[in-house]
Structure 1
Amino acid sequence: MEVIEILGYKRANLGKAESKKLRINAQVPGVLYGGKEQIHFYVPMVLLRDLVYTPNAHFVDLNIEGAVYRCILQEIQFHPVSEMMLHVDFLQIFDDKKIKMEVPIAFVGKAIGVAKGGVLSKKQRKLNVFGYPKAIPSVVNVDVADLDLGCIARVHQIPVESYTILALPNTPVASIEIPRALRSAASKEEKKGKK
């Protein structure tokens, strides 16, 4: 999995007034959990863009004044109107501790149903997975090559190696929708056959 390095600075003062000052200066207050102690820090807003505004999953090397922590983005809060980043939470990860992470889905192959005029409908864009950090994939590959018209790919059909997908086995991931024009042509053929 790709690793993004982010530089952060320890926060001396906590509280709403201090957080407001940071945001005015395009800094995002944050907390790092999961280690021996919580670390309060702030990062320049611009450094979070590559991590937040991407469909990809990343590990983060959070460098707080020289101390580097391997972590994942746990939560980010945005202002409801301006969409400005208000607060960020990171979870420190360790090689011997399992983690839960949201990972994007990559649809692989050209579906049989698409070749016949169907449309690939992506029911899920991301899946929550659980496993050791080195086992977490950067994408979950879903092979749709065998999907015919009207068929559905479900979570239990995805081959997993050393991680677990945290979704119900029957959760649909993708399907091949039959367009209205194709459906009406098929029903006309059916009516002709009955005459």
Structure 2
Amino acid sequence: MKTITIEGQLRSEYGKKATRQVRSEGQVPCVIYGGAETVSFSAPAVAFKNLVYTAEFQLAEIKLGTKTYKCVLKDLQFDTVTDELAHIDFLELVEDKPVSVSLPIKIVGQSEGVKAGGKLVVKIKALKVKALPKYLRENIEVNIDKLELNGNIRVEDVVAENIEITNSPRIPIASVVMTRQLRQEEAANEKDAKKK
């Protein structure tokens, strides 16, 4: 799994004034929680670019002095005026402690319904999951080979080993809908059949 390394500095001062000072230096205030201790630190805004502005699920390895923390991105805050990164929350990965994250869905296979002229519509792009850190992965594959015309693949159809999917089981992930051209062809065929 892809890991982004971020080098930061521990923060010793807190409060609005200290936070404003950190931001004015091009740094982003951050917090790591979920482990033995809560750690406040800051790092340059550019260090987060590949972690924040991507749809991929990645781990963050945060180096603060001599300590390194393995984390996942938990929450982001952006400045309402400038749209710059204002704050990041990280969740530390602890070996025997399950974490809740969103994993992107990767559609694989060739749908029967698409081969028949239908159009694939992807309804959701990620699944909420709960798993131990060692079972986390970049994405969850959803095979659409058996997806028929006017059919759906739902959350309950996804099989993921050692991972608990926490979305509602009835939510559709992808469906194949009939295209206008296919509807017109079917209507024309029905007219021809009635004429005979």
- Check whether TM > 0.5: yes
**Distance in structure 2 (CA, Å) of the matches to 1:162 and 1:176:** 29
Displacement of 1:15 in angstroms is 1.2
Q: Structure 1 residue 6 and structure 2 residue 11: aligned? A: no
Specify the SS of the correspondent of 2:184.
helix
**Distance in structure 2 (CA, Å) of the matches to 1:39 and 1:163:** 28
Specify the SS of the correspondent of 1:17.
helix
Specify the SS of the correspondent of 1:50.
helix
Matched residue count: 195
| TM-superposition CA deviations, 1:67-124 (whole Å, max 9, x none) | 1011111101012232200000111111111111110000001112222221111111
The residue number in structure 1 matching 2:50 is 50
The residue number in structure 1 matching 2:93 is 93
Q: Structure 1 residue 193 and structure 2 residue 193: aligned? A: yes
Unaligned runs of 5+ in 2: none
**Distance in structure 1 (CA, Å) of the matches to 2:193 and 2:157:** 36
The residue number in structure 1 matching 2:137 is 137
**Distance in structure 2 (CA, Å) of the matches to 1:125 and 1:31:** 27
**Distance in structure 2 (CA, Å) of the matches to 1:176 and 1:132:** 34
The residue number in structure 1 matching 2:39 is 39
Aligned alpha-carbon RMSD (Å)? 1.2
**Distance in structure 2 (CA, Å) of the matches to 1:22 and 1:136:** 33
Specify the SS of the correspondent of 2:32.
strand
The residue number in structure 2 matching 1:148 is 148
Counterpart contact for 1:129–1:136, Cα < 8 Å: no
**Distance in structure 1 (CA, Å) of the matches to 2:133 and 2:38:** 20
Q: Structure 1 residue 59 and structure 2 residue 53: aligned? A: no
Unaligned runs of 5+ in 1: none
Specify the SS of the correspondent of 2:134.
helix
Specify the SS of the correspondent of 2:17.
helix
**Distance in structure 2 (CA, Å) of the matches to 1:17 and 1:188:** 72
The residue number in structure 2 matching 1:23 is 23
Counterpart contact for 2:122–2:173, Cα < 8 Å: yes
**Distance in structure 1 (CA, Å) of the matches to 2:87 and 2:136:** 26
> Could you state the TM-score of these two structures normalised by the residue count of structure 1?
0.95
Specify the SS of the correspondent of 1:189.
helix
**Distance in structure 2 (CA, Å) of the matches to 1:160 and 1:15:** 43
The residue number in structure 2 matching 1:127 is 127
Deviates more, 1:178-187 or 1:137-146: 178-187
Counterpart contact for 1:29–1:88, Cα < 8 Å: yes
> Could you state the TM-score of these two structures normalised by the residue count of structure 2?
0.95
Counterpart contact for 2:35–2:94, Cα < 8 Å: no
